[in-house]
């Protein structure tokens, strides 16, 4: 499997565009291609062209959750597919197009998706588990045995006429199984990466070979980073598993340095333009 980062917060290349957001291009050994998230706007398409990636050739596309920095580029993707004469299914979780905000009930800003895109016939709404094709499983989990990041506390959803803490029912992850190996791909892991890993390992029937995910250890809206003690605890728990980790975006470079202290070469930070063979 090969992963190419089409959008992330930073890039070492002057020919690529960086935005706060995420988009991954996943190529499986058997030739199937998956677009995972689409960044905050159309800029991921600019990077894709520069990197020689035709996103309209995807067999499937996935939105990890209903926040603009992962799905703001959805209208641009649908338009690109239309111009190419292709209809690529875009899998979203229930509630992906609900109202989502960041801040407090009194002072907040919208971070949701363009609800007009929900009307596209390419958009496929799925539940807690969905098999895209053999070896590609979308899943959600309500497990909360391990603590999630405190930065989630600023994230809210509209429910019963008011703004309340987000339950992240709109979040989903992708389990990839190929050639006897298992890989987890997650956007921001709002439900807690350890909780998501537990669910993925149960589906896979054993340990994961690699996790490609944001760990949400920073809050860009609030200008804060996760408590170092929680990050150290997460690093120790990740190190106890026989897995390598590729992270980006909402993990943040400050938290990554703490993870690196514990995990060493088993963790790597990816930027726009990074290409990794797994």
| Residues 190-210 pLDDT 10s | 999 999 999 999 999 999 999
How many residues make up the chain in this entry? 278
The residue ranking higher by pLDDT, 223 or 276, is: 276
pLDDT score of 90:
98
Q: Give mean pLDDT, residues 258-262.
A: 95
Tokens of 142: 């309500």
Q: What is the share, in percent, of the chain residues with pLDDT greater than 70? A: 98
Q: Is the pLDDT of residue 223 over 60?
A: no
Average pLDDT value for the chain: 95
- Are 21 and 39 spatial neighbours (Cβ–Cβ below 8 Å)? yes
Extended beta strands in the chain, E state = 2-7, 23-27, 33-36, 60-62, 90-93, 100-103, 108-110, 123-126, 129-133, 136-139, 155-159, 162-165, 173-178, 181-186, 210-213, 218-219, 224-225, 244-247, 267-269, 275-277
Closest by Cα among 17, 32, 23 to 5 = 23
Is 266's pLDDT higher than 70? yes
Alpha carbon 193 to its chain centroid, in Å, reads 11
**Binning pLDDT at 50, 70 and 90, where does residue 222 land?**
low
- Nearest-angstrom CA–CA distance, 25 and 55: 8
pTM of the model: 0.97
pLDDT at 221 over 70: no
Q: Decide if pLDDT at 219 tops 80.
A: no
pLDDT of the residue at 149: 75
**Number of domains into which the chain is organized:** 1
pLDDT for 229: 85
Q: Which tens digits make up the pLDDT trace of 41-95?
A: 999 999 999 999 999 999 999 999 999 999 999 999 999 999 999 999 999 999 9
**pLDDT band with cut points at 50, 70 and 90 for residue 39:** very high
Instruction: Tell me the mean pLDDT in the region 243-247.
Output: 98
Res. 220: pLDDT tops 80? no
- Domain carrying residue 49: 2-277
Instruction: Report the CATH number that the domain containing residue 236 is assigned in CATH.
Output: 3.60.15.10
Residues of the chain above pLDDT 90, percent: 88
SS3 270: coil
Better-scored residue on pLDDT, 105 or 243: 243
CB neighbours (10 Å) of residue 179? 9
Find tokens 């995420």 and name the residue: 22
Q: Is the pLDDT of residue 148 over 90?
A: no
């Amino acid at each position: 499997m090969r992963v190419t980062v089409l959008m992330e917060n930073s890039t070492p290349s002057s020919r690529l565009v960086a935005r706060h957001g995420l988009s991954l291009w996943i190529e499986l050994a058997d030739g199937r291609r998956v677009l995972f998230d689409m960044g905050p706007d159309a800029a991921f398409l600019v990077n894709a062209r520069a990197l020689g990636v035709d996103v309209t050739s995807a067999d499937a596309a996935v939105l990890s959750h209903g926040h603009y920095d992962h799905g703001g580029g959805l209208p641009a993707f649908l338009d690109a597919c239309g111009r190419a004469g292709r209809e690529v299914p875009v899998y979203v979780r229930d509630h992906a197009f609900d109202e989502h905000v960041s801040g407090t009930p009194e002072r907040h800003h919208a971070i949701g998706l363009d609800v007009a895109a929900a009307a596209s016939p390419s958009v496929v709404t799925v539940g807690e588990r969905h098999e895209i094709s053999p070896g590609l499983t979308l899943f959600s989990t309500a497990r909360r045995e391990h603590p999630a990041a405190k930065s989630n506390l600023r994230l809210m959803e509209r429910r019963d006429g008011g703004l309340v803490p987000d339950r992240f029912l709109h979040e989903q992850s992708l389990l990839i199984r190929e050639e006897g190996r298992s890989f987890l791909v997650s956007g921001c892991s709002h439900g807690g990466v350890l909780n998501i890993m537990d669910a993925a390992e149960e589906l896979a029937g054993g340990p994961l070979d690699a996790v490609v995910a944001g760990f949400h250890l920073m809050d860009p809206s609030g200008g804060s980073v996760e408590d170092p003690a929680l990050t150290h605890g997460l690093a120790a728990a990740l190190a106890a598993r026989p897995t390598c980790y590729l992270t980006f975006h909402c993990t943040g470079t400050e938290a990554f340095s703490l993870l690196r202290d514990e995990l060493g070469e088993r963790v790597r930070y990816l930027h726009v333009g990074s290409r990794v063979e797994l």
